[in-house]
């Protein structure tokens, strides 16, 4: 018993140290290394494309140029919301109204992002997770993600002006909130005790009483990835990310029963089900896709065999989202670091990609539509996206070449003479440069020290228990 307590104490302390130092570093650099969080494709032909990033909000105004739609990018930095801790999530209600989640709380803007106001509601007493916006643009839900407190879900029917706490409460972590796109008032949450389900937009939840997952696991091991319409079925997908083999499970009966449909020596963190394909990205084994040409047979025992999946081992993408206008189009962000592009879309099941945003520099020097005296313009005036500056506004980076031991500064991370739409640049992420700030080195050494200390501690405790 004492050995178990010692092991648990050491492991908890190690994780707490890593988490604390990580949070401090991320706060210092407005979220750490820039990372795309989500993409909102245009919902009408001439509507803007929105991208939420740890650097803030990016907007692409598309214009017709020589028979092609060319985007002009604009950047609203994360300092506009919170100058100290950055942005964790943001939803766009319309071009004037935004709702943002930072580590300091939930904020609203009603003037196109020129000012953000912290919402005076009880939910801001908690750390908050991700937001989910109903297609009607009025209903919003968000969940809390506090440590050492009971967590819950809050909902709003007035575009985030007022918030009401749901009847749901759980001791422990809420891992994910997912809104069913075909039934937008249907909300699923994955938490420390399993899955819960709401049919009234998050006001009330019922626990999902599963008959078992078939893998001798506890409910808090599963991670909800999402779901959607699969032929005549409403499908749910969860991941069991065990080492060394992760399993993808599917349910076609509202979570009552489950079956394994894919396994990989990797981990799963997202999924997309569109009209003709199931997309399954992984961080190390690339992208797996499953064609849904015969959806009516997908519940049979012979379906989902390994040889029916198509794998692209060199394509590392994330934040997948289906295009609301073009059924076969899928948008994604490049998850590899370094990568060839930030945002791209495919119309042919990932065989080729059209790059929409290659690097952050496409938004360098742009001005958000606010007055010079506005809060946001003043907060962002020290930030930059040029190739020779650090977007956090802290210090210039050193650009480390991934295929060379020498360091050099370059004007851009992509060769300007290289055609970004050429075949060799489509469907895979090539080797490019990445940014490494000198001040990151002591931090990385500290993390490595903590890591090896934890390994030694675990080995020592294991030897004692034997």
Residue 29's pLDDT band (boundaries 50, 70, 90)? very low
Cis peptide before 244 (omega within 30 of 0): yes
More confident residue, 216 or 125: 125
CA distances, 338 to each of 34, 116, 254, 399 (Å): 11, 33, 39, 11
* pLDDT at residue 33, as a whole number: 77
d(CA 226, CA 423): 32
Rounded to the nearest 5 degrees, what angle is found at the Cα of 30, between the Cα atoms of 25 and 31? 70
Residue from 141, 19, 31 nearest 87 by CA: 31
Query: For 263-270, what is the mean pLDDT?
Result: 93
Query: For 349-368, what is the mean pLDDT?
Result: 91
* pLDDT at residue 35, as a whole number: 86
Least confident of 82-96, 266-280, 310-324, 412-426: 412-426
Tokens of 398: 């050193």
**Using CA of residue 213, residue 217, residue 218, residue 220, what is the dihedral sign?**
negative
Residue 14 has pLDDT above 60, yes or no: no
- Percent of the chain scoring above 70 in pLDDT: 72
More confident residue, 302 or 148: 148
| Tens of pLDDT, residues 179-207 | 999 899 999 999 999 999 999 999 999 99
* pLDDT at residue 197, as a whole number: 96
- Every domain of the chain and the residues it spans: 1-29+437-466
CA-based radius of gyration for the chain? 23
Which range of 30-34, 107-111, 258-262 scores highest in mean pLDDT? It is 107-111
* pLDDT at residue 292, as a whole number: 83
Residue 1 has pLDDT above 50, yes or no: no
CA distances, 216 to each of 209, 236, 242 (Å): 16, 19, 12
* pLDDT at residue 297, as a whole number: 59
More confident residue, 92 or 426: 92
Residue 454's pLDDT band (boundaries 50, 70, 90)? low
Tokens of 80: 């506009």
How many residues are recorded in the chain? 466
Residue 42 has pLDDT above 80, yes or no: yes
């Amino acid at each position: 018993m004492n050995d178990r307590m010692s092991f648990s104490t050491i492991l908890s302390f190690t994780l707490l140290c890593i988490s604390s130092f990580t949070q401090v570093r991320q706060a210092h650099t407005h979220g750490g290394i820039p990372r795309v969080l989500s993409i909102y494709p245009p919902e009408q032909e001439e509507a803007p494309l929105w991208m939420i990033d740890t650097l803030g909000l990016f907007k692409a105004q598309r214009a017709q140029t020589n028979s092609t739609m060319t985007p002009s990018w604009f950047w609203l930095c994360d300092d506009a919301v919170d100058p100290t801790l950055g942005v964790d999530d943001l939803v766009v209600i319309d071009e004037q109204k935004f709702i943002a989640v930072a580590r300091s709380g939930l904020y609203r803007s009603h003037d196109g992002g020129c000012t953000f106001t912290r919402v005076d509601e009880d939910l801001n007493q908690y750390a908050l997770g991700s937001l989910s916006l109903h297609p009607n643009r009025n209903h919003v839900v968000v969940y809390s993600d506090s440590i050492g407190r009971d967590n819950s879900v809050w909902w709003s029917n007035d575009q985030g002006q007022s918030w009401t706490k749901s009847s749901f409460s759980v001791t422990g972590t809420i891992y994910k909130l997912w809104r069913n796109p075909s039934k937008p008032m249907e909300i699923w949450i994955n938490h420390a005790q399993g899955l819960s389900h709401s049919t009234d937009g998050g006001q009330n939840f019922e626990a999902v009483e599963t008959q078992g997952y078939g893998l001798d696991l506890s409910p808090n091991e599963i991670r909800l990835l999402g779901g959607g319409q699969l032929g005549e079925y409403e499908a749910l997908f969860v991941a069991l990310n065990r080492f060394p083999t992760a399993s993808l499970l599917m349910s076609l009966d509202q979570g009552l029963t489950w079956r394994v449909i894919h396994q990989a020596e990797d981990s799963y963190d997202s999924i997309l089900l569109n009209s003709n394909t199931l997309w399954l990205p992984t961080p190390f084994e690339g992208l797996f896709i499953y064609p849904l040409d015969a959806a009516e047979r997908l519940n049979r025992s012979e379906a989902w065999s390994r040889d029916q999946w198509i794998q692209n081992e060199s394509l590392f993408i994330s934040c997948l989202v289906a295009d609301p206008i073009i059924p076969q189009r899928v948008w994604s962000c490049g998850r590899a670091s370094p990568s060839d592009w930030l945002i791209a879309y495919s119309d042919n099941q990932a065989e080729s990609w059209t790059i929409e945003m290659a690097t952050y520099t496409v938004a360098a020097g742009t001005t958000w539509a606010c007055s010079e005296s506005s809060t946001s313009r003043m907060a962002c005036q020290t930030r930059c996206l040029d190739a020779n500056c650090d977007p956090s506004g802290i210090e210039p980076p050193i650009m480390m070449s991934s295929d060379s031991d020498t360091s050099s500064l370059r004007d851009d991370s992509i060769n300007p003479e290289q055609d970004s739409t050429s075949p060799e640049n489509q469907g895979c992420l090539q080797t490019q440069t990445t940014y490494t700030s000198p001040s990151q080195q002591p931090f990385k050494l500290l993390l490595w020290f903590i890591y090896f200390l934890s390994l030694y501690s675990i080995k020592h405790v294991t030897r004692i228990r034997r």
